[in-house]
Amino acid sequence: MPLFQAILLTIFPAVMIIAALSDATSFTIPNRLSLVLLAGFLPVTLMLGRPLGEIGLDLGVGVAALAAGMAMFAAGWIGGGDAKLFAVAALWLGWPAVASFLIVTALCGGGLAVLLLNARSSFVRSRLAGAPGWVERLVTPGGDVPYGIAIAAGALVAFPHAGIAAGLHGF
C-alpha cells in the first residue's frame, strides 16, 4: 500500500480518538469532527479504489445508523454529538464491520456506565478530591455518560475489518 493511502487511513482512527477524549473531558463531541469524517469519506474511499457498489452499501449503512442514532437521541439515551459520531463511524466501517462495531460499542457503553456508577459513589468521589475538573464532572452523581468513548472504542476495534481498511492488512 502506498504511503499516501496509509496516511488516508489514519484519518478515521485519529478523529475517533479525538472525539472520545473530547467527550470524556467536556461531555461534547464537536460537530467539526463528525463533519471531517463525513466530508472525507467519499474522497478517501475513491482514492483507495473502493468499488462504487461497496461505497453505496457503506452509504446505506451510514443512513441506517443515522436513523438509529436520531431515535436514540430522541429517546434521551445519547446526546446529539453521540448520534452524529455513531452515524459517521458506521459510514466509514460499512458492512459487515458495522456488526462488530455495534456489539463492541454496546459492551463498552455498558461497561462505561457500570464504571461511572461505581465512580460516582461517595466512597470513590471522596478519594478524588483535588482531581482535575473534568474528572470531577465525570464522577458527579446523576451526570451524563460520555458515550462517545464507547462509540470510539467500538469503531477502533471494528476498523481493521472495514472494507475501507482492506488494503491495510497487506501494508
In single-letter form, the type of residue at position 111 comes to G
Q: Residue 18 in contact with residue 33, Cβ under 8 Å?
A: yes
So what's the pLDDT on residue 133? 77
So what's the pLDDT on residue 170? 43
Kindly state the cell numbers that stand for 39.
466530508
CA dihedral 52, 55, 61, 64 (to 10 degrees): -70
Domain boundary assignment for the chain? 3-170
So what's the pLDDT on residue 169? 44
Predicted TM-score (pTM) of the model is: 0.87
Distance CA 1, CA 171 (A): 5
pLDDT digit string (tens) for 93-136? Answer: 999 999 999 999 999 999 998 888 878 877 777 777 777 778 77
Task: Tell me the chain's radius of gyration from C-alpha atoms.
Answer: 17
* Ranges of the chain with pLDDT below 70: 1, 167-171
Q: Which residues contact 89 (CB under 8 A, 6 or more apart)?
A: 16, 37, 65, 101, 151, 152, 154, 155
